[in-house]
Structure 1
Amino acid sequence: MSSPAPSTLHRPVLAGVSLASLCVMILGASLLPVPYVIESPGPAIDVLGDYEDEKILTIDGGDEHPTYPTDGELMMTTVSVDGGPGYRVTAAEVLVAWFDGTRSVLPRELLYPEDQSAEESSLETSVQMSTSQQDAVAVALDELDIPYEDTVIVAGVETGAPADGVLEPGDRVLRINGESASDTAGFQALAAATPAGQDVEMTVEREGEEQTLQVPTEQADGKPRMGIVLGAGHDFPIDVGISVGDVGGPSAGTMFALSVYDELTPGALTGGKDIAGTGTIDAEGAVGAIGGIRQKMVGARDAGADYFLAPAENCDEVTGHVPDGLAVVKVSTFEEARHAVETIGSTGSTDDLPTCSS
């Protein structure tokens, strides 16, 4: 009997080596970072309750503006995003998320500028959160005819910047280098006029106390840079604190405004119901669109909410994606959101309220 030819013996070995090499290549490719982000449902947080062992909303209005006990829940909803600045996702992670109905895969450039750093992204979301809180309180006080004054605040401080550890988000700006201004642009001009190499002297009001601070600077494009963002704010006659840890962004504005209004009015606005929602809010009370609303509805349902307030501008994304057991009401203003919560609280029904499909 003749022996197999050498080429016949080599074919199975070559095939095995080729298959193993292909598997290694596929595995390696699946672990490479790709330019996508993955949005997943985040926690739904009751603004009337606690978060990370700390009360979220604290209000001290003194004898003139007392607070009242409330009941039920007003939940702000969040989205967890993987793949942002400083954090890349792999092809394998994207593939898994693609087949998960509760998550979304988006091109990274839709959410983040190409050259944005993790620090810059964190500063941006911090500014958005600070501004949304200011506007939310203003809208609630407008509804209650409680007057307040417009002012300029430190809306955000960049991590690791010269001002980090000296200034804090929410500081009300009174003077820069001994001079005052009437608006954000005026204070920015005063800061920019600081001679090179000198600290910026900032007088701010923090928790009701005036402080004069020496803020270090660094040179950037020939100008002193503290690493802060100044923004429009308000000087309220009541002390309002909102603490949600490291959660950032502007999308909780509507739920903040409802919660402040609830605590400053007798009775429970919700009637004891568990209501979640989302939506930016501006100083005029307009409710704006947000991102990740499908994930936020899932998060609300998982947290036990029975009702959900959605910005009217997001209705195209809501229709056909409402989780079972969740009733969604569309709102476009604070007045509409307040009316929806009051109606749900008193009737337990959304039958007479507008929806994204009506």
Structure 2
Amino acid sequence: MSSDPSRPTRLRRARALGDRWLEEAQLARPGWAIGSLLLLCAMIVGASVIPVPYVVERPGPAVDVLGEYEEEQILVISGAETHPTEGELMMTTVSVDGGPGYTVTPVEVIRAWFDRSQAVLPRESVFPEGQTREQTTLTNTASMSTSQQGAVAVALDALDIEYEPAVLVAGVEEEGPADGTLEPGDVIVSVGGQTSADLEGFRTLIRAADPAGPVAMTVRRDGEELELEVPAEEADGTARLGIVLSDGYEFPFEVDLAVGDIGGPSAGMIFSLAVYDELTPGALTGGQSIAGTGTIAADGGVGGIGGIRQKMVGASDTGADFFLAPAANCQEVIGYEPDGLEVVAVETFDQAVEATETIAETGSTEGLVTCEDVIEK
């Protein structure tokens, strides 16, 4: 057998090259690891701050309508006999993160998914696509103004107090043409020297006005008629004032409800109860802390609302012992009542008054309709 004297040399060289490659790879590995870790961290941080198309509903404050909000008395009735009251009638609210002009991140969404007091919803299910922050504010303000008007009317109906229908300014767009000239609550008397018997008639008169403006309008504010020159802008060939008109009422006395920048129609029932309370002798609540929510219809019907679970939490956190919930929301209520909060289901204003009076007299909800009773029907 013959042998190859060069073989050991080639093996040693191959081993030396392999050892050198391995050594260099080991030296480079920490750099690769650090680079990969930094890349991963950057991806995580980026994903945590990228806006997502969702909104997060959280419990908002519960506000006593019989008391003050932002150092201002909420309910003020002038020109009618009112009566001292006590206890609390709390309107409840929902704080919404992620609306027009605002965003939420994946981290906030994930955190909300694991919190029973919060809710995650697609943005388009809450806010129309393309709606701006200013449009959202105007819509909420108009809804609140219309709700307050309807609430007062329902309370006066229950007391057989007469009032007159009217067309009013429900909202004024911030920095819009009419901002600073018209105010929410103004009753429209005439536009361009002409009057109308209904809402659509006044809308037609405004659209027919000179887009270059100003538009001559007469409004009634705090019982006084004002002749105004309202700035306008052109929009699709017609005059635009940046206001929302709605059907409303002129009452035989002044009723002011001041709730700052809180918007929406869901406090209607509580507003009605508060007005009814102040216009009738004695404390409707009997000194109890009662919260609630629900829209109010012209016939006194109490309608369902969004965010009922968050509103119950907000009421409980604020100290309410009882909660008046629309019967239409009962499916969402059961199993989510905060400890210590007794919930009563109501379908009409009359039922809400009866429930409040019963709680005042007995300090309990015994004998009143619960959400379990509604679901079992």
What is the distance in 2 between the residues matched to 1:30 and 1:307? 39
For residue 35 of structure 2, what is the aligned residue in structure 1? 17
Instruction: Provide structure 1 residue ranges, at least 5 long, that are not aligned to the other structure.
Output: none
The 8 Å contact of residues 46 and 75 in structure 1, kept in 2 or not, is answered as yes
Select which of 53, 58, 71 maps to 2:86: 71
The 8 Å contact of residues 211 and 240 in structure 2, kept in 1 or not, is answered as no
What is the distance in 2 between the residues matched to 1:85 and 1:282? 28
Q: Secondary structure at the match of 1:34?
A: coil
The 8 Å contact of residues 72 and 273 in structure 1, kept in 2 or not, is answered as yes
For residue 291 of structure 1, what is the aligned residue in structure 2? 306
Deviations 1:126-159 (A, max 9, x none): 0100000000000000000000010100011111
For residue 312 of structure 1, what is the aligned residue in structure 2? 327
The 8 Å contact of residues 61 and 67 in structure 1, kept in 2 or not, is answered as no
For residue 40 of structure 1, what is the aligned residue in structure 2? 58
User: What is the CA-CA distance between 1:61 and the residue it aligns to?
Assistant: 3.1
Deviations 1:235-277 (A, max 9, x none): 1001100000000000000000000000000000111100000
What is the distance in 1 between the residues matched to 2:88 and 2:234? 48
1:6 partnered with 2:21: no
Structure 1 runs of 4+ off > 4 angstroms? 1-4
For residue 160 of structure 2, what is the aligned residue in structure 1? 145
What is the distance in 2 between the residues matched to 1:196 and 1:274? 52
User: What is the CA-CA distance between 1:10 and the residue it aligns to?
Assistant: 2.1
Normalising by structure 2, report the TM-score.
0.92
User: What is the CA-CA distance between 1:284 and the residue it aligns to?
Assistant: 1.3
For residue 47 of structure 2, what is the aligned residue in structure 1? 29
1:248 partnered with 2:263: yes
Instruction: Provide structure 2 residue ranges, at least 5 long, that are not aligned to the other structure.
Output: 1-15
What is the distance in 1 between the residues matched to 2:212 and 2:71? 42
Q: Which amino acid in structure 1 is aligned with residue 55 of structure 2?
A: V
For residue 127 of structure 1, what is the aligned residue in structure 2? 142
The 8 Å contact of residues 213 and 233 in structure 2, kept in 1 or not, is answered as no
1:86-97, aligned counterparts within 5 Å?
A: 86-97=101-112
User: What is the CA-CA distance between 1:6 and the residue it aligns to?
Assistant: 1.5
What is the distance in 2 between the residues matched to 1:354 and 1:7? 75
1:58 partnered with 2:62: no
Q: Which moved more, 1:86-95 or 1:337-346?
A: 86-95
Deviations 1:66-115 (A, max 9, x none): 10001110000001111000011111221222222211111111100110
What is the distance in 1 between the residues matched to 2:251 and 2:299? 16
Deviations 1:8-57 (A, max 9, x none): 33233212311221111111111111101111111100000011110000
For residue 13 of structure 2, what is the aligned residue in structure 1? none
The 8 Å contact of residues 187 and 220 in structure 2, kept in 1 or not, is answered as yes
What is the distance in 1 between the residues matched to 2:67 and 2:260? 13
1:1-358, aligned counterparts within 5 Å?
A: 4-62=22-80, 66-358=81-373
User: What is the CA-CA distance between 1:285 and the residue it aligns to?
Assistant: 0.8
**For the aligned residues, what is the CA RMSD?**
1.2
More helix by share: 2
Q: Which amino acid in structure 2 is aligned with residue 109 of structure 1?
A: E
What is the distance in 1 between the residues matched to 2:88 and 2:347? 21
| Greater gyration radius | 2
Q: Secondary structure at the match of 1:11?
A: helix
Identity of aligned residues (%): 61
User: What is the CA-CA distance between 1:60 and the residue it aligns to?
Assistant: 1.5
Deviations 1:293-325 (A, max 9, x none): 111000100111000000011111101100000
Q: Which moved more, 1:12-21 or 1:240-249?
A: 12-21
Q: Which amino acid in structure 1 is aligned with residue 64 of structure 2?
A: D
Q: Secondary structure at the match of 1:196?
A: coil
What is the distance in 1 between the residues matched to 2:148 and 2:287? 24
Normalising by structure 1, report the TM-score.
0.97
The 8 Å contact of residues 46 and 76 in structure 1, kept in 2 or not, is answered as yes
Count, aligned residues: 355
Q: Secondary structure at the match of 1:301?
A: helix
Q: Secondary structure at the match of 1:87?
A: coil
Q: Which amino acid in structure 2 is aligned with residue 30 of structure 1?
A: S
